[in-house]
Structure 1
Amino acid sequence: MNNLSQIEALLFVAGDEGISLPDLITMTGFEQTAVIGIIDDLAAKYDNDLSCALEIRETDGNYRLVTKPMLGTVVKQYFESPTNATLSHAQLETLVIVAYRQPITRIEIDQIRGVQSSGTLQKLAMRHLITEVGRKEEPGRPILYGTTVDFLDYFGLKTIKDLPPLPDLDSLDVNDDTEGELFANPFAVEPERK
């Protein structure tokens, strides 16, 4: 594994939040000038390879891998595709976490889910179900996510306080069937019994 691939891997796993220069230095153990040089080399590699879809963008002190602007139309079609009209299991799971734990960072969501959530968060943001609500006061100043008015509308809620209470997971016998039911429609309200 060479130095360039280490930086590239960190940029990739950092997702849409990106990663700061100090974090790159800490995680790789490289000198600042070496990290900056590797980022420049990687950016040049992406720029010079016309078959490559990626580029490096530096925003607010964080470096991110993004798709090249010329691919905007095809990427937009992906997010607006009818196949993406319904919420996937991963999107519902992430949305439940954001709704009940907001404001919350991507890292906190990843820890709860046990998988990387940046792509899922991007899709939810594109659908205007979640939005950035600020930054956490800690190193790297990660983005905080919360739900939107469109989220409330999508689930027929007047306010976030109208969310149904979460089930007590300790009292449930959670197996594969139960888990699927929990995330199938976590915002569904049971009909009143007469």
Structure 2
Amino acid sequence: MNKSSELEALLFVVGDEGIGLEELSYLLNLPTEAVYQLIQELQGRYQVSEQTALNILEVGNHFVLTTKREFAPLLKKYAQSPLANRLSQAALETLAIIAYKQPITRMEVDEIRGVQSSGSVQKLAARQLIEEKGRVEGPGRAILYGTTSYFMDYFGLKDLAELPDIQSMESELEEELPLDLFFDCYQEEISETVEATEIDLSSQERNEEQ
């Protein structure tokens, strides 16, 4: 397996959090100069190829795998499509964890779920259910996520205090019981989300225009 493919795999897995040069150097067992050269070569191939929609951004001291700018209209259309508005069980679990533990980083969500959550986080952000609430102080400055006003409206909440008390569930959280409690607390709304889940972005946009 060549190092360029390994680099691409790592960039894909870390998602929107990105990954630093030193960590890539450690994981790929290469000097930082060699890793940076690999990144430049991979980015060069992305830029000249019409067979890929990928791009690499350098954000601070981190590298993030993204899509090319010209695909933005297509991706926006997808996000607003009724076919894309059904949330998966993974996305619902991710949303519940963020609602309880916010502000929280994607890596912390991953630790709680035990699986990678980058795709779910991106989908929830595209549907305006979660948003960036700041950055962690220190190396990497990971994004902190929290729920949005749209989330509050969608679940009929006046404030987050209406969620079940997370302190009383802290030990159960490791066993993922709060996810069930979250769903039970808003059974009617969650049932619609699980069985017919359609977050109507077009309706939201009409309301905003009014």
Query: Into which bin does the TM-score normalised by the smaller protein fall?
Result: 0.7 to 0.9
Distance 1:27 1:108 in 2: 20
Amino acid across the alignment from 2:124: L
Q: In the alignment, is residue 188 of structure 1 matched against residue 186 of structure 2?
A: yes
Distance 2:57 2:36 in 1: 13
Deviates more, 1:149-158 or 1:83-92: 83-92
Which structure is higher in helix share?
Answer: 2
After superposition, the CA RMSD in angstroms is 2.5
Q: TM-score, normalised by structure 1?
A: 0.84
Q: TM-score, normalised by structure 2?
A: 0.78
Amino acid across the alignment from 1:155: F
CA contact (8 A) 1:124 1:130 kept: yes
Amino acid across the alignment from 2:68: K
Unaligned runs of 5+ in 1: none
- Alpha carbons of structure 1 residues 93 and 50: separation in structure 2 relative to 1, 3 Å: same
CA contact (8 A) 2:25 2:31 kept: yes
Give the percent of matched residue pairs that are identical in Structure 1 and Structure 2: 48
Q: Which residue of 1 aligns with 2:192?
A: none
1:139 deviation in Å?
A: 3.1
CA contact (8 A) 1:89 1:183 kept: no
- For these two proteins, the number of residue pairs brought into alignment is 183
CA contact (8 A) 1:93 1:183 kept: no
SS in 2 for 1:65: strand
Amino acid across the alignment from 1:19: I
Q: In the alignment, is residue 140 of structure 1 matched against residue 140 of structure 2?
A: yes
Q: Which residue of 1 aligns with 2:4?
A: 4
SS in 2 for 1:104: coil
CA contact (8 A) 1:89 1:184 kept: no
1:134 deviation in Å?
A: 1.5
